[in-house]
A and B are shown apart, each in its own frame.
Chain A
């Protein structure tokens, strides 16, 4: 099992800055910018990995603010309620063996689908927020998440995988009905943020795995060329 989201504390700005620097560092690796030749999906995966790390830090700050806005017990560090009303949220936690056995396509598809859903929920959260500052933060994060989704789509395209098509009518909606109590709604919000955090952690591992997989050892390449020569 991947580690579950245990802490949703406010992220430190230094961490965010470090991640931003990392993103900038790897900008030359973006295929659109790198015109020296076709580098393959490697740089794109690296970029996606960096973006997940950056979003993770960003979310840490946002979640802290939002959970304070919901009030206790949701902002208490040890609050761990059952996952009751959040059944429709895509689950990030998965059995470790299952996760290892995932092929690239499935791995990427799961990521893409999860963030598609989470982004949709998150936009609902934004519409609901009462304070302007919180709405601004949420909108900013949604934009970043949209960028991550595009990045994953780019990796999938580079590897030749088709994007999963959403089935008509299965588009998740954010419509808290009258039967849905405000407390359950808050619980859903809590789980949305928590699941998002877990997904960002998982994606970092996913893309790290993909990254390693896509970079064959340099020595092996050399040997292969020598074999051709002979």
Chain B
């Protein structure tokens, strides 16, 4: 317990003593406070330089201290900058610190003060600062002088993109001052009544002579300005590389980029520094620099290229082995030796690059401007290459370049040299042609030859040798030499057979001979004019097998065609005719037929398009049609006039003329309409004949169809008349309503063929209706009536179209026993008839003898039907006027009777 209390007491005492010490330190100034603070200015750099010392620091003492510096502008309370400056202070040392102001120092007063502390990096919060020094005032304006206006900063140099602050100081507050940047007025900010400042942001390069900024008093002459020099930003050098050509000098090059030079600032400088040797050189040129290779055979180089101007430095580095950067010099002493017809040996030398290096050289051989051979050769000192496969007497050009074979860097420049191969004897015989003429008993032979091509000549042809060998006298040789440019010569020989040898000669030798034989008889000229010759040209292969090369056809001399083709005329119409001469052979003519002329003479004398007027040898004028194709052997002469007289002639033409103008063929064009008439009338006649034959063959049928003997009343046109009057009471008797009692057909007359126009001769047909009832008493067959229905001209309107007489009438008769059947059949007819009756306009009406109570008008039925009389004769049917028909018809309504018509009883 006692030990604990002793420890506690000691702790409290220690704590108390520490506190006491602290309070003493705070109450008294630190011994090493800043003192002798001096402030100077650098207007050019807008810098404030501070200089001070530390109070009471022992001479040998070294202390790490921090100084807090405060800068105020215009007034002390306006602090614009606070900075802690840490440094190690030795005894009696003067300390320096600089500060660059954005605002030119001339524009405003600045105040500076500082305090210090021991710099304890571990506990920066617990610094014990000294007292502040007193404010040091910096007022440059006082020293400016008495000029009315100033502009600052003076002639500043900045980089592009910088921000610059400009101010003016005016001595008079009354003056209104305007400031301009390159002639454009600026808007400023007033710092105090006499000072305004202008902030320029991101300034750009305008010109080498700088950007002009000036201020002037509005009502006065005074003008003050500055020039702001804006430099382009210095670029890093690009494409920096070094190489050697001779192992003595390293040549370094680079792209310097843009020039940052100004009127105020020199262009950037370049410095080359090599780190292994520690050497440095200032480059005299903007884009290249030479470096002397160290004699102690330094292999590795580490270069630093530094570009520098007033404002900035930029550096680039390269590290390389010297042997990897060898750019050999161009080969030299290129020579050609042992130049033969097809070979040449090329030799050259390379500049020495030390014994350890092998060069790879590239040789290119040019012939006629094109690369024809390429070779790669390894070379130590001397290069040699045999060029083969060359042509004789040909100029070639060869070039060579070299590079380091082990570490390729760059090819050297080419070195070029020309050479010409030597000549050889011509390789081919000259191509010789001859022309033989007979002149006064002699044979004049003209020889022509083509100059040999360069490849065949193998050199310059100097002359041609012609050896004439008399075949009859083998010993007789004649030699003739013709100098080179000539390509022909003439020989006069007597009329014997000769063999002629022609050779071309250059300085080296003679070509193979071209041999031809002259028969000596010019009369044997096989070719005759006007005869067509066909040639087949054969080549002979190396195996001596002939093969056809070409077929040629020709005339030694063309003659005008001697014959005109035989022309066939066809398709003669009133306006045209066709000419053809298919069998005309163009190949058997005395010249190449190129086409035909068709001459056409007419009285009109006018030529249509496609033809041209031509005057014949007999002064007659005609139209000429030209056919350019010899294969076209047909021609249509058109645009002719009908019923006109024409003459035509077809004649071939060739390069030398046309065929004879012989007899013209005459032709007259036909009438324009006769062909048409024939075309129409003939078919018509034929048709009519055909109809007539048909009519004759089918006369019976026709008669039945169109002219039946007994007309069918239902089909009669009279019905149409009834209908047309729209009289409903007039109708045709409907059989359905008739109840026959007895029908007896006594006799049946076949068609008499009598015309209804002869009523007197007509024999009436009677129907006898047998009484069905007992009450009906009458003397035998007493009811009979004459059918005069069609006695009148009512049949006039009848036609074939109204003949719907049932063709099965005879069979119907057979069925009459059945009244119902009969009724049905008749009803059908009746109804049809009623329907078919059109509204007629005729004044005639057909009135049925039997008034039908059904189909007739029932209202008109008589209330007291007349009593039938025996043997009463039925009224004659007759045509009556329309208005009168009704009453009469009702009179016999009660009588059930019917008129049955047989086919033989139809009249018309």
CB distance from B203 to the nearest CB of A (A): 14
Q: Are B263 and A183 in contact (CB under 8 A)?
A: no
Q: Are A183 and B208 in contact (CB under 8 A)?
A: no
CB distance from A194 to the nearest CB of B (A): 15
Please indicate the chain A residues that have their CB under 8 angstroms from the CB of B261 in the complex. Answer: 130
Q: Are A186 and B209 in contact (CB under 8 A)?
A: yes
CB distance from A180 to the nearest CB of B (A): 10
Q: Are B182 and A72 in contact (CB under 8 A)?
A: yes
Query: What's the Cα separation between A184 and B183 when bound, in Å?
Result: 16
Q: Which residue of the partner chain B has the closest CB to A74? A: B212
Q: Are A182 and B264 in contact (CB under 8 A)?
A: yes
Task: From known contacts A71-B206, A72-B183, A73-B214, infer whether A183 and B226 are also in contact, taking CB-CB under 8 Å.
Answer: yes
- A12 close to B (CB within 8 Å): no
CB distance from A192 to the nearest CB of B (A): 15
Query: What's the Cα separation between A182 and B44 when bound, in Å?
Result: 13
CB distance from B218 to the nearest CB of A (A): 14
Please indicate the chain B residues that have their CB under 8 angstroms from the CB of A186 in the complex. Answer: 209, 212, 227
CB distance from B180 to the nearest CB of A (A): 7
CB distance from A134 to the nearest CB of B (A): 10
Please indicate the chain B residues that have their CB under 8 angstroms from the CB of A181 in the complex. Answer: 154-155, 226-227
- B127 close to A (CB within 8 Å): no
Which of A73, A81, A183, A187 has the most CB atoms of chain B within a 10 A radius of its CB? Answer: A183
Q: Are B227 and A82 in contact (CB under 8 A)?
A: no
Partner of A71 from the list B151, B154, B209 (CB cut-off 8 Å) is B209
Q: Are B263 and A182 in contact (CB under 8 A)?
A: yes
Query: What's the Cα separation between A5 and B427 when bound, in Å?
Result: 90
CB distance from A63 to the nearest CB of B (A): 15
Q: Are B207 and A183 in contact (CB under 8 A)?
A: no
Please indicate the chain B residues that have their CB under 8 angstroms from the CB of A81 in the complex. Answer: 221, 223
Query: What's the Cα separation between A81 and B215 when bound, in Å?
Result: 11
Residues of A69-108 whose CB lies within 8 A of B: 69-74, 76, 81-82
We find that the number of chain B residues with CB closer than 8 angstroms to chain A is 25
Please indicate the chain A residues that have their CB under 8 angstroms from the CB of B222 in the complex. Answer: 82
Q: Mark A125-143, 1 if CB is under 8 A from B, else 0.
A: 0001011000000000000
Task: From known contacts A71-B207, A183-B212, A183-B214, infer whether A76 and B183 are also in contact, taking CB-CB under 8 Å.
Answer: yes
Please indicate the chain B residues that have their CB under 8 angstroms from the CB of A82 in the complex. Answer: 221-223
Please indicate the chain B residues that have their CB under 8 angstroms from the CB of A128 in the complex. Answer: 263
CB distance from B709 to the nearest CB of A (A): 132
Please indicate the chain A residues that have their CB under 8 angstroms from the CB of B210 in the complex. Answer: 71, 182
Task: From known contacts A70-B212, A76-B183, A130-B263, infer whether A182 and B155 are also in contact, taking CB-CB under 8 Å.
Answer: yes
- B659 close to A (CB within 8 Å): no
- B76 close to A (CB within 8 Å): no
Q: What is the predominant secondary structure among interface residues of chain B facing chain A?
A: loop
Query: What's the Cα separation between A74 and B212 when bound, in Å?
Result: 9
Q: What is the predominant secondary structure among interface residues of chain A facing chain B?
A: loop
Q: Which residue of the partner chain B has the closest CB to A131? A: B208
Query: What's the Cα separation between A202 and B244 when bound, in Å?
Result: 64
We find that the number of chain A residues with CB closer than 8 angstroms to chain B is 17
- B256 close to A (CB within 8 Å): no
Query: What's the Cα separation between A100 and B385 when bound, in Å?
Result: 93
CB distance from B442 to the nearest CB of A (A): 82
CB distance from A156 to the nearest CB of B (A): 37
Q: Are B155 and A71 in contact (CB under 8 A)?
A: no
Please indicate the chain B residues that have their CB under 8 angstroms from the CB of A183 in the complex. Answer: 151, 155, 212, 214, 224-227
CB distance from B208 to the nearest CB of A (A): 5
Q: Are B180 and A73 in contact (CB under 8 A)?
A: yes
Q: Are A71 and B182 in contact (CB under 8 A)?
A: yes
Query: What's the Cα separation between A2 and B264 when bound, in Å?
Result: 37
Residues of B207-262 whose CB lies within 8 A of A: 207-212, 214, 221-227, 229, 261
CB distance from A127 to the nearest CB of B (A): 12
Query: What's the Cα separation between A70 and B212 when bound, in Å?
Result: 8
Task: From known contacts A183-B212, A183-B226, A183-B227, infer whether A73 and B183 are also in contact, taking CB-CB under 8 Å.
Answer: yes
Please indicate the chain B residues that have their CB under 8 angstroms from the CB of A74 in the complex. Answer: 212
Task: From known contacts A82-B223, A182-B226, infer whether A71 and B212 are also in contact, taking CB-CB under 8 Å.
Answer: yes
Residues of A168-190 whose CB lies within 8 A of B: 181-183, 186-187
Please indicate the chain A residues that have their CB under 8 angstroms from the CB of B182 in the complex. Answer: 71-72
Residues of B272-299 whose CB lies within 8 A of A: none
Query: What's the Cα separation between A228 and B261 when bound, in Å?
Result: 75
Query: What's the Cα separation between A130 and B212 when bound, in Å?
Result: 17
Q: Which residue of the partner chain A has the closest CB to B224? A: A183
Q: Which residue of the partner chain B has the closest CB to A130? A: B208
Q: Which residue of the partner chain B has the closest CB to A84? A: B223
CB distance from B245 to the nearest CB of A (A): 32
CB distance from B356 to the nearest CB of A (A): 48
Residues of B145-199 whose CB lies within 8 A of A: 151, 154-155, 180, 182-183
Q: Are A182 and B183 in contact (CB under 8 A)?
A: no
Task: From known contacts A82-B221, A181-B154, A182-B227, infer whether A69 and B183 are also in contact, taking CB-CB under 8 Å.
Answer: no
Q: Which residue of the partner chain A has the closest CB to B206? A: A71
Please indicate the chain B residues that have their CB under 8 angstroms from the CB of A76 in the complex. Answer: 183
Q: Are A71 and B211 in contact (CB under 8 A)?
A: yes
Please indicate the chain A residues that have their CB under 8 angstroms from the CB of B263 in the complex. Answer: 128, 130, 182
Please indicate the chain B residues that have their CB under 8 angstroms from the CB of A131 in the complex. Answer: 208
Please indicate the chain B residues that have their CB under 8 angstroms from the CB of A72 in the complex. Answer: 180, 182-183, 212
CB distance from A68 to the nearest CB of B (A): 9
Please indicate the chain B residues that have their CB under 8 angstroms from the CB of A70 in the complex. Answer: 209, 212
Query: What's the Cα separation between A72 and B183 when bound, in Å?
Result: 6
Q: Which residue of the partner chain A has the closest CB to B220? A: A82
Q: Are A69 and B226 in contact (CB under 8 A)?
A: no
Q: Which residue of the partner chain A has the closest CB to B264? A: A182
CB distance from B389 to the nearest CB of A (A): 57
Query: What's the Cα separation between A64 and B222 when bound, in Å?
Result: 24
8 A-B pairs (CB sep. < 8 Å): A70-B209, A71-B206, A71-B207, A71-B210, A182-B155, A182-B226, A183-B214, A183-B226
Given contacts A72-B212, A73-B212, A183-B225, 15 further A-B contacts (CB under 8 A): A71-B207, A73-B214, A74-B212, A76-B183, A82-B221, A130-B261, A181-B154, A181-B155, A181-B226, A181-B227, A182-B154, A182-B155, A182-B264, A183-B226, A186-B227
Give the 9 A-B CB pairs with smallest separation, nearest first.
A72-B183, A182-B227, A183-B225, A82-B221, A182-B155, A130-B208, A81-B223, A71-B212, A72-B182
